[in-house]
Structure 1
Amino acid sequence: MLKLQNISKQFDQKIVLENINLEINTGEIVSLLGPSGSGKTTLLNIILGLTKMDEGKIIFNGRDVSNVPMKDREFNIVFQDYALFPHLNAYENIVYGLRNKKGMDSEKELQEYIDFLELKPHLTKKIGELSGGQKQRVALARTLVTKPKILLLDEPLSALDGVIKESIKQRIQSIAKEYKLTTIIVTHDPEEALTLSDKVLIINRGNISQFGTSREIINQPSNDFVKDFILKQLQIKRQNIFNLFGEKYA
């Protein structure tokens, strides 16, 4: 569905991304994982159309969209801080993306998203009255009503913890499955990437260190960086990872 071909980017003569090649299938959840400064957020912004690449191509469903403006790519993003309007209530935030856009969701479809994300009891609440998990669900609903072809999420779980984090993780997985919605996530958290995604792209210093399933990355890390970044950071959490994945990681 989405192909990145030889994507490269520099800022002030510093290489941020170098010859990134990637293929993502319809309905897959793919996490872009790496330490701060690795280039993962720049890559997300290039896919979105917010940042222009220096070299390479973005092919979407067989069409070269490399020079297509962001508003015409039919991709949409949920930012890390949700970017909700505090003076509007939850419902008004959800439908805001439908303004001045034709062919968007009918009222019936809109209610389906609201029910799917269990937001009905919160529609009249102002943003300041919502919990972190509720804000995240409102932001997801606002994005979904615009019917994006690709959903982009920037650190979607970073402000959440405990039960709320697990709940939103399950929501993201359910959205991808229910709507066959290709989803790309930026995260710095290995546990989050490995338990949430179908595949994980590990980036280090602007280069791909490994791209594969969680099982492949845990059992067959491609180099020392992947070993250090994944396994050392998961020393405390490793049992949780293996418990979540079950026997296939035994």
Structure 2
Amino acid sequence: MLSLKNVTKQYDNNEVLKDINLDIENGEIVALLGPSGCGKTTLLNMILGLTEVTSGEIHFNHSPIHHVPMQKRGFNIVFQDYCLFPHLNARDNIMYGLNNLKKDPNTKEVSDLIELLELRPHLYKKIHELSGGQKQRVLIARTIVMEPKVLLMDEPLSALDGMIKERIKDMIIKVAKSLNLTTIIVTHAPEEALTMADKIVVIQEGKIAQFGTPEDIIHRPNSKFVRQFILNQLEIKRHHIYQLFGEQHGA
């Protein structure tokens, strides 16, 4: 279990996060959801160890880790941009970390992951030959082969759209569940959180506005902010889809 106890982050006199209390069970997919500037990426970075906690504690499997350096936590992150090595092909990008650690890249686990992410036909392509969705799958594979205890993802779908976005979303869920991998995803899009996560943390101005299942968030919002943020964003999405459909229908 990953537990945050009264976690606060302050820069000078500005409290970015205030008294965050959160328990995430092993194997859960949890979305950190909220508008830009609410503190969700700061929270992700504190869990990773990239950003120090001002006060409070972070525990993993009942051991405090808030003073443990990032490289010793055993967590790993998929950032928004692809961060791939352009001079290496897809396979060498995936195996890069394993080679550095002198681990065998030819294990069944690695092979199974490549199959899960449907990367077998693309392993020997250069990065510039891959589509956006293929690049994202390579990055996910490169992160997961390192066997992280917790997988963190910062807006992993932001550069994708349409059917490609839906396929990557489904693959993330499939891989996380097949590996029983605790996964924390930052997103500003309610439809992503509602369709990917077991639990959702809605963040408002540095505080947890609500923590619950997608059903809780949709059917039992506990504040006007949660209700309006979810419904307004979904309405914007529906309006965008309607516009696209209307344009295509009239073409």
TM-score (norm 1): 0.92
Q: Distance in 1 between matches of 2:69 and 2:81?
A: 24
Q: Which residue of 2 aligns with 1:244?
A: none
How does 1:13-92 map onto structure 2 within 5 Å?
13-92=13-92
1:105 is displaced (CA, Å) by: 5.5
Gaps of 5+ in 2: 240-251
Cα pair 1:41 1:186 within 8 Å, conserved: yes
TM-score (norm 2): 0.91
How does 1:88-237 map onto structure 2 within 5 Å?
88-101=88-101, 106-235=106-235, 237=237
Give the secondary-structure state (helix, strand or coil) at the position aligned to 2:98: coil
**Corresponding letter in the other structure for 1:167:** R
Cα pair 1:58 1:65 within 8 Å, conserved: yes
**1:73-117, CA deviations, whole angstroms, 9 ceiling, x for partnerless residues?**
011001100211111110110011113325566533222211121
Aligned-pair identity in percent equals 62
**Corresponding letter in the other structure for 2:207:** N
1:236 is displaced (CA, Å) by: 5.0
Give the secondary-structure state (helix, strand or coil) at the position aligned to 1:234: helix
Cα pair 1:7 1:54 within 8 Å, conserved: yes
Give the secondary-structure state (helix, strand or coil) at the position aligned to 2:5: strand
**Corresponding letter in the other structure for 1:133:** G
1:13 is displaced (CA, Å) by: 1.6
In the TM superposition, structure 1's runs of 4+ consecutive aligned residues that sit over 4 Å from their partners are 102-106, 236-239
CA-atom RMSD in angstroms: 1.5
Aligned length: 239
Mark the CA change 1:42 to 1:236 in structure 2 (over 3 Å): closer, same or farther: closer
Give the secondary-structure state (helix, strand or coil) at the position aligned to 1:235: helix
Cα pair 1:105 1:146 within 8 Å, conserved: no
Q: Distance in 2 between matches of 1:198 and 1:238?
A: 23
**1:11-57, CA deviations, whole angstroms, 9 ceiling, x for partnerless residues?**
23211000000000111100000111100000000000000010011
Gaps of 5+ in 1: 240-250
